Structure formats: C-alpha cells, structure tokens
Amino acid sequence: QKEVEQNSGPLSVPEGAIASLNCTYSDRVSQSFFWYRQYSGKSPELIMSIYSNGDKEDGRFTAQLNKASQYVSLLIRDSQPSDSATYLCAVSGGSNYKLTFGKGTLLTVNP
C-alpha cells in the first residue's frame, strides 16, 4: 500500500525563522509531488509542485525532492504568522492521477 509519511507535529517557529517540513513516500514509481496548505476550516490549497530531483523555489517557499531517498521537503523562509496552517504532502504516480496525502503537519508561527 502506498504511504506518505510526514514529520510529526505540531511545529512551532518564531516569526522570521525558517520552517522545515518533511515527507517520505513508499512508492518508488511516484512521479509528482505536491505541498498543500490548509487553514483551519478551509479547503486544501496547492502551494508547490515538484516533479524532478533538486530544488524548486517560489517566493519564500522552496520544495526539495530526492527520489533516491524517496524524500520531499518544504522550506518556508521568513515565516509569517499568516503561514500558520496544516501543510499536507501529496504524492501521485501511475495513470489514474490519484493523490495520496500524508497526515499533515500543523505549523504555528509565533509573532
């Protein structure tokens, strides 16, 4: 069974710090990797996608992928209180585009 594991939270960082969120996956044929942000009571919102090994940067967010280690991470630089949310790692592979989600990591950024 395909599994996606995220580092257990909650994670608390001070404002301005770097928040590091980690995720491992079990299915070696996984091809696409995503980070979703979910505020309390809201729906998941796609913030980053990554498909090849290495780093991908978008503003304060950097996604990192290492397929050999089956590891994907999300770095949030200059964390803001508005970044406080649950971050969901999602992985897909195969022809049916099914996304398998991790259980999420609750991030709190303290002013």
Q: Binding of other proteins at residue 82 (CB under 8 A)?
A: no
Whole-number minimum distance, CB 92 to other proteins, in Å?
A: 5
Give the other-Cβ count within 10 Å of 63's Cβ. Answer: 23
Candidate list 44, 64, 65, 83; residue touching other proteins; CB under 8 A: 44
Rounded to whole angstroms, how far apart are CA atoms 100 and 107?
A: 20
Rounded to whole angstroms, how far apart are CA atoms 45 and 24?
A: 20
Q: Of the ranges 11-19, 58-66, 68-76, 91-99, which one interacts with other proteins (CB under 8 A)?
A: 91-99
Q: Of the ranges 19-27, 52-60, 75-83, 94-102, which one interacts with other proteins (CB under 8 A)?
A: 94-102
Q: Binding of other proteins at residue 92 (CB under 8 A)?
A: yes
Whole-number minimum distance, CB 32 to other proteins, in Å?
A: 4
Element (H or E) spanning 75, and its range?
strand 71-76
DSSP 19: E
Element (H or E) spanning 92, and its range?
strand 85-92
Candidate list 38, 60, 61, 67; residue touching other proteins; CB under 8 A: 38
